[in-house]
Amino acid sequence: MSKGTVVLAYSGGLDTSCILAWLKEEGYDVITYLANIGQDEDFESARKKAETLGATKVFIEDLRAEFVQDFIWPAVQANAVYEDRYLLGTAIARPCIAQRQVEIARQEGAQFVSHGATGKGNDQIRFELTCYALYPEVQVSWTVERFIPDGCHAPGDLYLMTKNPEDSPNARDLLEIEFKKGVPIKVTNMNEGKSVDSPLDIFSYLNEIGGKHGVGRIDIVENRFIGMKSRGIYETPGGTILLQAHLDIETFTMDKEVRKIKQGLGVKFSELVYNGFWYSPECDFVRQCIAKSQENVEGKVQLSVFKGQVYILGRESPKSLYNEELVSMDVQGDYDPCDASGFIRVNAVRLREHHRLQGFFNTKQ
């Protein structure tokens, strides 16, 4: 008699194949689940392996469009960067993958979920927090431990999506990215005239162009949620282009003080996503606030991509005309230069008194 049903996040690799075999041996029915979020993988071969190892059912789910639209786009809006450098690629993928796994578990009446993420890594936390958040009664049945040693320079072949910038083309690509409500709605290659406009096509195309030019590689030390430092080597070609373009159009169209508050919310969002709290009341709240801030983030950014770098060349926006109005206002004399002096002198009141006070105390001593 079966001990129950486990939905296992299965990659076709050694680790999760071992887990599958072990779970069968222990008397569980195992449903394998493999999410396609755009990785380079032989899905059919994984299906066969799972069937051979005795999986009751095999789910292979194409989550690519959903991943881009519901997970990556909010991160673009947030300018999400963890500890000033990491663009959160896998951290964003995890809740997307786990939420579908939980849906399958509910639909198949499975009480257990399992995965191959390692115990001290963040991915275990991200995976399990999502499962508990969306399916509070679920039980997580197994983890596997594996460690990647730190200390040596990363070999080049760790990178799958990006070329080495030294080997990348000697001619730049010129892109124009159009945004509406803070997300890209169209990308045009100005060299070739080609353009794409669905979320998945946009993201795939930016990954392709960014990858070709070696954009978005980093080799960092990061602080894991549980406090340990670990080395991370990442490549985020499309994400890096989008971050630069979004930063630009956002600053161009968003009020200065709104931007400052939103920047703080973006830092919070990044930390929550890194730590696995995508599905939490606070992340939900922050996402809604950030979305609210993006209503007027709209326009086009021109940029070039070359040898690992993204260069912003210019921007335009239907929401930006007030800048020109302001300039013409200067010319017309509506702005009194004496106002600037008053502004500065009032800002200086506090500073002057501080200085006088210090002088006074120094004299007394």
- The full DSSP string for 205-217 is HHHHHHHHTT-SE
Give the three-class secondary structure for 195: strand
Residue 180 found at the interface with a copy of itself (CB under 8 A): no
Nearest approach in angstroms of CB 359 to a copy of itself is 9
For the chain, how many helices (H) and strands (E)?
12, 12
Nearest approach in angstroms of CB 73 to a copy of itself is 19
C-alpha 265/C-alpha 287 separation (Å) is 9
Residue of the chain from 347, 362, 363, 365 that contacts a copy of itself (CB under 8 A)? 347
**Binding to a copy of itself (CB under 8 A): which residues in 236-275?**
247-248, 251-252, 255-265, 267-268, 271
Residue of the chain from 85, 107, 158, 197 that contacts a copy of itself (CB under 8 A)? 85
Residue 75 found at the interface with a copy of itself (CB under 8 A): no
Per-residue CA distances from 197 to 5, 65, 107, 302, 348 (Å): 41, 12, 34, 16, 51
Identify which of residues 3 and 292 has a Cβ nearer to a copy of itself in the complex: 292
Residue 65 found at the interface with a copy of itself (CB under 8 A): no
Q: Which stretch binds a copy of itself (CB under 8 A): 70-78, 176-184, 200-208, 216-224?
A: 216-224
Give yes or no for a contact between 175 and 305, defined as CB atoms under 8 angstroms apart: yes
Burial (CB count within 10 angstroms: exposed 0-12, middle 13-18, buried 19+), residue 88: buried
Beta partners for residue 114, in sequence order: 8
Structure tokens at 167: 């080997």
Site string for a copy of itself, 120-149 (x = CB under 8 A): x---xx--xx--xxx-x---x--x-x-x-x
Residue 152 found at the interface with a copy of itself (CB under 8 A): yes
**Binding-residue total with a copy of itself (CB under 8 A):** 111
Identify which of residues 70 and 222 has a Cβ nearer to a copy of itself in the complex: 222
Give yes or no for a contact between 250 and 79, defined as CB atoms under 8 angstroms apart: yes
**Binding to a copy of itself (CB under 8 A): which residues in 15-44?**
none
- How far is Cα of residue 84 from the mean position of the Cα atoms in its chain? 13
Nearest approach in angstroms of CB 95 to a copy of itself is 12
